[in-house]
Amino acid sequence: MANLRAIRKRISSVKSTQQITRAMKMVSAAKLRRAQDGINAARPYARKMREVVQAVAGRAGSDAHPLLTAREAKKLALLVVTSDRGLCGSFNAGLSRAVYRFLNEHRGAYEEIALFVVGRKGRDFFRRREIPIRKEYLGVLGAVSRHHAETIANDLIGGFLAGEFDEVQIAFNEFRSAISQIVRFEKMFPIALESSGKTGGDDIDYLYEPSREEILATLLPKYVQTQILRVLLESVAGEHGARMTAMDSATKNSVDMISRLTLKMNRARQATITTELIEIVSGAEALKG
């Protein structure tokens, strides 16, 4: 009977967990729809912003602003975007492991790699491995805003202009679908200029008002902020998609587990009944003798 009670207790525990995972799946599904709307609105704007920067800065030249000037990459700043919460499959672990491999593979290529980490999961991952973190940003993906993107962009741009690092890259999960997020590494700046011939506008020139330097001084930081905001929105959508998929799998696994435990419970009950019947029959036969 003790074994039967343990099975019943376990079935009850699994059913309670199933209710939680089903509720979390529904919440993530609702949040995913809003996050998809956000990233679908942000991507065209970020793409057009990139085209504008390429068109204006490409004609101004790489010496028009420090964010366009390439240096010998001795010091790297790497922004890693993870989430604050878990229960989203390999969303955080896959990215953190990819960054960890990147750090090991490029240890000799850079004199120093400064980590800027968004999210508790990434922070905890690198802390456990005693990897120094220059700055951490917590509670960002819970309510992404342009203010968050501006804060992060200002920290990275300020360090770059001060000569603290020569190159800035960002590592994040790019949202493809609810079941697919791709780990991406992108170079933020120095901003690489493409050939103007690709746009078909070689015969077009610009008049700068108030001046080329002032326009780029305003435009380029806004461009960096826009790209970081897009990345944060990509991560939000990816997190909810990964959590919805993970909770759906957990719910399905709980159904299978309840079925197996129910079968095991019924067998244990039958065995108990059979044992009791045998004891009754044996006692009756002993009385007859």
pLDDT at res. 101? 95
- Integer Cα distance of 58 and 191 in angstroms: 10
Domain that holds residue 58: 21-246
Judge whether residue 201 has pLDDT over 80. no
Q: Is there a domain that residue 62 lies in? A: yes
pLDDT at res. 173? 94
Q: Is there a domain that residue 268 lies in? A: no
Q: Is there a domain that residue 8 lies in? A: no
- At 236-280, the pLDDT tens digits run 999 999 999 999 999 999 999 999 999 988 888 888 888 888 888
Judge whether residue 198 has pLDDT over 50. no
88 carries an active-site annotation: yes
Task: Let me know: does 32 contact 241? Beta carbons within 8 Å.
Answer: yes
Q: Is there a domain that residue 230 lies in? A: yes
Which of 1-5, 23-27, 159-163, 222-226 is least confident? Answer: 1-5
Q: Is there a domain that residue 2 lies in? A: no
- Tally of domains in the chain: 1
Instruction: pLDDT band for 202, please (50, 70, 90 cuts).
Output: low
Which residues on adjacent β-strands are paired with residue 189?
168
- C-alpha to C-alpha distances, 271 to 55, 91, 264, 274, nearest whole angstrom: 80, 45, 10, 5
Q: Is there a domain that residue 209 lies in? A: yes
CATH number at residue 186: 3.40.1380.10
232-259: burial string, b at 16+ Cβ within 10 Å, e else = bbbbbbbbbbbbbbbbbebbeebeebbe
Among 88, 188, 237, 242, the one annotated catalytic: 88
- At 48-79, the pLDDT tens digits run 888 888 888 777 777 778 888 888 889 999 99
Instruction: Provide CB contacts within 8 A for 165, sequence distance 6+.
Output: 75, 76, 77, 112, 114, 159
Task: Let me know: does 83 contact 141? Beta carbons within 8 Å.
Answer: yes
